[in-house]
Structure formats: C-alpha cells, structure tokens
Amino acid sequence: MANGKDQTIFNTVMNEQNQGHVTRKHLFTRLEKQLGVPVVSYFTSFRYPVMIDSADVDIIEGVLQKMDLSKGFALCINSPGGDGLAAERIINVALLHF
C-alpha cells in the first residue's frame, strides 16, 4: 500500500499529465506578475481529437471583451493544430484588443 507521500506525488504527476487547471493556475499567476499584464490562455487536448476551430474565436473574443486590457495582455495558445483560418482569426481578434 502506498504511503501518503507516494499518493501526493502520484496525484501531482497525474495533474501534470492531464494538464489540469490546478497544474497551470500558479504558473499563469507567476507569469502575470512577471509580465505585468493579464495572461489569457487557450488549451486544446493533445489526448483527444479537439483542435482549434471557428467557435473558439468567439469564445476568446468574449473573454477579451470582458477584461481590462488597457496595459496589454499575453495570449498563450497550446494546441496540436486545427483550422488555420480559425487560428488566423484568433490572432486578428487579439490584435484588435491589443
């Protein structure tokens, strides 16, 4: 039977492997402090067939519209691919809010 420390390490590894929100939250908080601007992140799955598509553009634009971006922002995208036109639209939407 695994002890508590082994279980904690296992849970940490699984969170990192699954790219859970808990894994990234502290990293983005640190990144925002270092950059001095809000960080907007968009992640798709590397495990399941989920890639960038046109509906994502509207979601990102909606998020950006609700934020105070007067100091600028950093956009972090992590995806194995998807629709090239949708990716271009995301960049254009980001530039409109920059």
Contacts of 15 (CB under 8 A, 6+ apart): 22, 23
Looking at the predicted structure, is the pLDDT value of residue 82 above 50?
yes
- H-helix segments, 36-71: 54-65
Domain locations in the chain as residue ranges: 23-97
Q: What is the pLDDT of residues 38-50, one digit of tens each?
A: 999 888 877 777 8
What share of the chain has pLDDT > 70, as a percent? 85
Residues 83 and 54: beta-carbon distance below 8 Å: yes
**Whole-structure pTM value:** 0.70
